[in-house]
Amino acid sequence: MLHRLKEPWTDRRAGLLLGALACSVLAVIVFMLVFIAIKAWPSFANNGLSWFSSKGVVDQQFDAMVNSGLNPSAADYELGAWPLIYATLLTTFFATFFGLIFSLLSAIFIVEFAPERIRRVIVPVVRLLAAVPSVIYGLIGILVLAPFIGNSVITAEQKSSVQFVIPLSGTGLGVAIAVLTVMITPIMIAITVDGLHAIPRAWKEGALALGVNRWRAMWTVTVRAARPAIIAGAVLATARALGEAIMISMVAGSKGFSPNPLDGFVFFFEPVRTMAATVVENAESINAPAMQSSLYALALVLLVGAFFLSLGSWIAKQPLKKYGTRS
């Protein structure tokens, strides 16, 4: 029996085995999705669409869930998760936005303008940065950046302007965005650099030979052709930002609060808590059924959000492929 395994494998056997592996991965994901959906159901069922709205104070609602004991009534499930969703959208959007600008410009510098000696140092460093555990960024954020902002940047007037709504301590939306941007930019740079390198040199030379300078040739031909890779990098980074929990929970202030854009610049000093951070911070209260269901509900929203992110990037890439080599 065993001797048959030593024979060279046929394509059929290899194909079957690999197919089984791929299917098992898919099965695990589907199982996970179904499991989370079932667990999350009580939270959605008791709140309806108002789950996604802003009603009451979300942190008080969580306290009520923890205190509701093992047999919670329908009222104990009450949750308006909008502040958490809003915080997730804000941090993810701003971090991706700034990350996209920084990473694209850095990648262009690395690929087109950096002298060979600098390039040889900077590319490995960027790849290393992409692999730094996020908690280290969180540590720097909470030990260095947050105290600095709390003590030196936020003025007394700014603190008093919102003192009846929310105390400002330094940790908040701005720090979260800044640290998140620093965290996701290296991976975006790495992918964008690879994408720009993959564009045939002949296209760039063709543009240069027509009397276009290197910056314009880069921008109008190479970057244009590399847009699918840039989007892919941005999506990967966005997914990381979307799911980042520990680091955000350290630097974002950890309050279920919706920052008000009308507050002007104070907006960026106001504390928030994202969905992923909420899950990680309340994991110890998971024995309370109401809390458990709410956390699973948050997880489901994150999961579906990530799915739509992939779908959105796929849709965004379609028109870009029209003029590419792949038809």
Partner 1 sequence: MIDPHEKTSRPARTTDEPANGMMPPPIRRITLDSQPTVALPPSQDAVAIANTGDRSLAAAGRPTRGVAGPERMTISDLSVYYGDNHAVKHVSLPIRQGEVLALIGPSGCGKTTLLRTLNRLTELTGTARREGLITLDGTDIDSLEVTEHRRRVSMVFQQPNPFPMSVFDNVAYALREQGAKRPKKKVLEPYVVDALQRAGLYDEVSSNLDHPALRLSGGQQQRLCIARALAARPEVLLMDEPCSALDPKSTNVIEELIVELRKELAIVIVTHNLQQAYRVGDHVAFMYLGDLVEYGPTDDLFDNPKAARTRDYIGGAFG
User: How many angstroms separate the CA atoms of 141 and 147, rounded?
Assistant: 9
Residue among 223 and 251 whose Cβ is closer to partner 1: 223
Helix (H, G, I), strand (E, B) or coil at 253: strand
Residue among 13 and 216 whose Cβ is closer to partner 1: 216
To the nearest whole angstrom, how small is the minimum distance from the Cβ of residue 195 to partner 1? 13
To the nearest whole angstrom, how small is the minimum distance from the Cβ of residue 116 to partner 1? 7
User: How many angstroms separate the CA atoms of 327 and 319, rounded?
Assistant: 11
Residue among 225 and 245 whose Cβ is closer to partner 1: 225
Residue among 142 and 221 whose Cβ is closer to partner 1: 221
Residue 11 CB burial class (10 angstroms; 0-12, 13-18, ≥19): exposed
**C-alpha dihedral sign at 127, 128, 129, 132:** positive
To the nearest whole angstrom, how small is the minimum distance from the Cβ of residue 235 to partner 1? 21
- The residues of the shown chain that bind partner 1, judged by CB under 8 A, are 116, 200, 202-203, 205-213, 216, 220-221, 224-225, 322-325, 327
To the nearest whole angstrom, how small is the minimum distance from the Cβ of residue 183 to partner 1? 33
To the nearest whole angstrom, how small is the minimum distance from the Cβ of residue 196 to partner 1? 14
Residue among 211 and 261 whose Cβ is closer to partner 1: 211
Which of 29, 78, 84 has the alpha carbon at shortest distance from 248?
84
Which of 82, 99, 110 has the alpha carbon at shortest distance from 185?
99
Cβ atoms of residues 79 and 43 within 8 Å? yes
